Amino acid sequence: MPAIDLSKITIGGPCKITDSGTVLYTEGDAVLEPNPVYRDVESAIAGADDGTLVDLTWSLKFKPKSIWSSGYRSSLLPSAYTNFSAGGTRIIGAGNRTVTVLGSDGEQYALQRAALTQMPELFLGLGDSLYGDVEYTAFIKNGAQLNDVDAFYVYSTGVAWSQSDFPTRKQCARPHGVLSPAGPTYSRRKDSNSLTSSGLNRSNRATSTLIARLSVTKE
């Protein structure tokens, strides 16, 4: 089998991840990491020789922009996962499922058969990103061999970059906890862990009544 390049790939961000028609913007770089599986080849003379590559997947890791929209939720928090209706079924079938990663420098990786395998943690508070890290897994293309050039992804350069599809009205979790479209402004005092509003302190326990409304524009 010809040698396969298993180097980690960093795609310069911000990146655009396209999954089933939904475009997800990343906070920074996106990373493609290989997950090789080896099998030792036994030898009567020297014991086990160098392992033979018998399986491979790639992990796509990134942190999404803090966008609270139906498209982001359906891709990052699919109802089949959150409602536990996908129990006992395959995450991805035998058919190919393309997920593309476009870097801001025009480099693009079109994953041939990929699906979400790690949903992000959610931070429903002040001063931090809404989403945690996300992971997609890219499996071998249906009918391909491990050493095929396009077995896992198709690499392109010079792809046009545009931010015209960036959802500017859906951003959340502003650093100073500004409520929108209209309402009081809350800020965190430097000498205290409490929130202040109109000169009155509010304990951290009260923030649970605010987090669901933080900078969210309803669709």
> Considering its fold, how many domains does the chain have in total?
2
pLDDT band at 200 (very low <50, low <70, confident <90, very high): very low
pLDDT higher for 82 or 77? 77
Residue 191 reports pLDDT greater than 50: no
Cα dihedral sign, 118-119-123-129: positive
pLDDT higher for 87 or 30? 30
Co-location of 181 and 161 in the same domain: no
Q: Is 2 within a domain?
A: no
Co-location of 91 and 190 in the same domain: no
Looking at residue 90, its pLDDT comes to 81
Co-location of 45 and 79 in the same domain: yes
pLDDT in tens, 135-151: 999 999 999 999 899 99
Contacting residues for 42 by C-beta, under 8 A, at least 6 apart: 48, 49
Q: Is 200 within a domain?
A: yes
Co-location of 156 and 181 in the same domain: no
Co-location of 189 and 139 in the same domain: no
Cα dihedral sign, 195-196-202-207: negative
Co-location of 140 and 48 in the same domain: yes
pLDDT in tens, 38-63: 887 766 666 666 678 889 999 999 99
Co-location of 86 and 15 in the same domain: yes
Q: Is 218 within a domain?
A: no
Q: Is 120 within a domain?
A: yes
* CA gap 100, 110 in Å, rounded: 4
Co-location of 208 and 156 in the same domain: no
| Helix/strand/coil for 211 | helix
Residue 130 reports pLDDT greater than 80: yes
Co-location of 60 and 148 in the same domain: yes
Q: End of a domain among 167, 190, 205?
A: 167
In sequence order, what DSSP letters do the residues of 173-206 get, joined into one string?
Answer: --TT-B-SSS--B-EE-TT-SSEEETTEEE-GGG
Q: How high is the mean pLDDT of the chain?
A: 78
pLDDT higher for 174 or 92? 92
Residue range of the domain that includes 186: 174-213
Q: Is 219 within a domain?
A: no
Co-location of 157 and 198 in the same domain: no
Q: Is 4 within a domain?
A: no
**CA 100, 105, 108: angle at the middle one, nearest 5?**
20
Q: Is 50 within a domain?
A: yes
Q: What is the 3-state secondary structure (H, E, C) of 33-48?
A: EEEEEEEEEEECCCEE
Co-location of 191 and 158 in the same domain: no
Neighbours of 191 (CB within 10 A): 5
In this prediction the pTM is 0.73
Co-location of 96 and 180 in the same domain: no
